[in-house]
């Protein structure tokens, strides 16, 4: 056994020495041989084939990007003809774009002569590290899939989440884009949207509008209630069912507070809210109803 081990070590040493000697011989030939003798062979055997591959790879890259754009446009037209949900349309468009670009990159690598199987093996071996580094991105992708499956909201809905609220303009593969009322674009990660609290103001067919209007002590409460009821009945955007609720909320220090609760369609919420405030401000003085101001009664007692 010891002899076999010694023979094996000697053989390995001879092979290593041969490899080093062969490399040294190649370097010696290159340095001692005139350039005109080995340059044509280098150009013919290596540079020309690689140049051809590089040109083909560039052509494939440009052609591939053009084809991907055509596929995306055809997909969007097909979804438009089928009247597909805009949420599904934007999400699938993002997925298709990522997959097609991945296929294009792998094809270019293969054309350049790089062994794709070795590349796949390298990616697989580095999968754990990449997965840990991109855990947030993978979570966002999974969140996008969950959003498309359970549909807590869709494109066009008005939502509130993570301190932001606005209209959903797109649901992408990793993020959801909302447009706020002051025309700001906010990009929210799908991971936190799928696991966090989301308020969808369009989920139900109607939405309640709440007001609190105040009158002074001494004003006719029944008359104020009748005026508010008339204003609500005159607005066609306020739904008749369920009925409008007008009740005395509380008697504050300087005012009598009346609450008004009405139902409207979600898209009419803010228009109705602002319009009613304006109408009450203009109508109450005409009806002899006063807006109260903070006041304090001071009683002076004269001591003897």
* 52 three-state secondary structure: helix
pLDDT at 54: 81
Pick the CATH number of 207-286 from 3.30.1490.20, 3.40.50.150, 3.40.50.720, 3.30.70.100: 3.30.70.100
Q: Which CATH class name applies to 139-200?
A: mainly beta
242-283 pLDDT, tens per residue? 899 999 999 988 899 999 999 999 889 999 999 999 999 999
Task: Tell which wins on pLDDT, 52 or 187.
Answer: 187
Q: Quick one: which of 150, 148, 139 has its CA closest to 170?
A: 148
Place of tokens 């109260």: 292
Cα–chain center distance at 39? 55
pLDDT at 30: 54
pLDDT at 275: 95
Which residues in the chain are classed under CATH 2.30.30.60? 139-200
Which residues in the chain are classed under CATH 3.30.70.100? 207-286
**C-alpha span between 187 and 251 (Å, rounded):** 45
88-120 pLDDT, tens per residue? 677 777 778 878 888 888 788 777 776 656 666
Q: Residue 204 — very low, low, confident or very high, per pLDDT cuts 50/70/90?
A: confident
According to DSSP, residue 62 is labeled: H
């Amino acid at each position: 056994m010891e002899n076999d081990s010694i023979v094996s070590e000697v053989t390995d040493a001879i092979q290593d020495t041969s490899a080093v000697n062969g490399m040294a011989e190649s370097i010696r030939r290159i340095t001692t041989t005139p350039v005109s003798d080995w340059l044509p062979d280098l150009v013919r055997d290596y540079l020309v084939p690689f140049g051809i591959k590089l040109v083909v790879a560039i052509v494939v890259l440009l052609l591939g990007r053009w084809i991907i754009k055509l596929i995306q446009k055809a997909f969007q037209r097909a979804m438009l003809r089928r009247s597909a949900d805009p949420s599904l349309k934007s999400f699938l468009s993002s997925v298709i774009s990522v997959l097609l670009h991945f296929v294009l990159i792998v094809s270019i690598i293969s054309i350049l002569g790089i062994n794709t199987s070795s590349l796949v093996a390298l990616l697989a071996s580095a999968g754990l590290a990449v997965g840990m580094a991109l855990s947030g991105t993978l979570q966002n992708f999974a969140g996008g899939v969950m959003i498309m499956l359970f549909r807590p909201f869709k494109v066009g809905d008005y939502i509130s989440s993570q301190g932001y609220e606005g209209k959903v303009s797109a649901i992408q593969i990793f993020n959801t884009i909302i447009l706020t009322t002051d025309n700001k674009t906010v990009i929210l990660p799908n991971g936190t949207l799928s696991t966090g609290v989301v308020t969808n103001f369009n989920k139900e067919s109607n939405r309640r509008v709440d007001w609190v209007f105040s009158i002074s002590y001494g004003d006719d409460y029944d008359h104020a209630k009748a005026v508010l009821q008339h204003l609500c009945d005159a607005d066609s955007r306020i739904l008749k069912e369920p009925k409008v609720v007008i009740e005395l909320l509380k008697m504050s220090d300087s005012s009598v507070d009346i609450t008004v609760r009405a139902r409207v369609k979600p898209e009419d919420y803010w228009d109705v809210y602002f319009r009613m405030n304006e109408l009450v401000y203009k109508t109450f003085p005409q009806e002899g109803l006063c807006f109260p101001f903070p006041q304090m009664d001071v009683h002076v007692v004269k001591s003897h």
